[in-house]
Amino acid sequence: MHRSRLRIAQTDCVLANFEENLAQHRTMIEQAIDDDIHAIAFPELSLTGYNVQDAAQDIALHVDDKAFDPLKELSREITIICGGIELSDDYGVYNSAFLFEDGHAQSAHRKIYLPTYGMFEELRYFSAGQKIEAITSRRLGKIGIAICEDMWHVSVPYLLAHQGAKLLFVLMSSPLRLTPGEKKPAIVQQWQQIISTYSFLFSSYVACVNRVGNEDSFTYWGNSSVAGPDGTPLVTAPLFKQHCIDTIIDLDSVKQARLHSSHFLDEDLRLFAAELRDIMTCRPN
C-alpha cells in the first residue's frame, strides 16, 4: 500500500490499570475503524501508565497472552501500535512497543536506552532491549519503532532507516521539565528539532506519539506530530489535551524527497562500519 491513513492517538492513561486502559484503546480503535483509518498509534506504555515501578513485574504480559485477544481481533481491520510492559520467554521485563495486525501480535521493539537520571528510574525496573530492527506492516510498509529516549541516540533511527524503514515511530511518555522564565518548555522545542532533523536527514516520515495527563508528580505535555520526508511538520496535536491527529502516509513523497536530494542514499555504510570498528578496537578500557 503506497498511501495509508494514519491516526496518532495522544491519550492519557490510568497507572497500572491494564483493563481500563485496554477499554480506552478499544473505544478509540473502533472509532478509527469507523473513520476508515488504516493504522493507529498510541504512546509509550499506553496500556499500563509510565511510573509503574515495582508493579512492572506483576503486570508484565507475554505477547501471546489472552489479554491481548481484543486487540488482535480488532487488528483484522486496522493496524495497531501501542506501548506496554512485556514479559519475555526468559522472564525479562521490558518497556515494549506491540504491533497488532491481521489478527496477530508481535513485540515490535524493546526500549534500549532506559533513562536513570533526574526524575527517571527505568533501569531499576526494566531490562534493556538489545535489538534494532525494522519490521514490515501490510498496511504501512517497512516501519521502524523507537521508544522515547531511544530517539536521543542517533544510532537507533539511523539503523532503522538504513534497514528500509520509510516511516519511523517514536512512542513517548515525555514529562514536562520547566525552567523559570521559559515561554515555551525547552523539552518541547528539543523534540520538535529532533523530529524535524531526523525526518529530513533520513528522508523518511517521523511520527511522534506523546501522552498527556498527570501521573504522580509527572505532567505529560503531548504535542504529538508527524513530519514529512523533507522535514516539514504535517500535523501537530495541542499541548496537554487528549487529541487525535490524522495524516496520509504517501510513500511517493519519500521517493520524491530522495530524488530531490540523495544525501540519505549517498551514505557510505562500509566506511561508517569500518570507522566504527576502529573506534571500538581503539577505545581504552
Full domain range(s) for residue 39 = 3-282
From the list 14, 82, 99, 9, the residue with the least C-alpha distance to 48 is 14
User: pTM for the full model?
Assistant: 0.96
Q: Which of 142, 280, 150, 266 is nearest to 208 (CA)?
A: 150
Give residue 285's pLDDT: 60
Instruction: Say how far residue 179 (Cα) sits from the centre of its chain.
Output: 26
> pLDDT 10s digit of each residue in the chain, 285 long?
589 999 999 999 999 999 999 999 999 999 999 999 999 999 999 999 999 999 999 999 999 999 999 999 999 999 999 999 999 999 999 999 999 999 999 999 999 999 999 889 999 999 999 999 999 999 999 999 999 999 999 999 999 999 999 999 999 999 997 666 667 789 999 999 999 999 999 999 999 999 999 998 899 999 999 999 999 999 999 999 999 999 999 999 999 999 999 999 999 999 999 999 999 998 766
User: What per-residue confidence (pLDDT) applies to 2?
Assistant: 81
Residue with the three cell numbers 530517539: 151
CB burial string 120-147: b at 16+ within 10 A, e below: bebeebbbebeebebbebebbbbbbbbb
Reduced to 3 states (helix: H, G, I; strand: E, B; else coil), residue 220 is: strand
What is the count of structural domains for the chain?
1
- pLDDT at site 178: 67
| CATH number, position 190 | 3.60.110.10
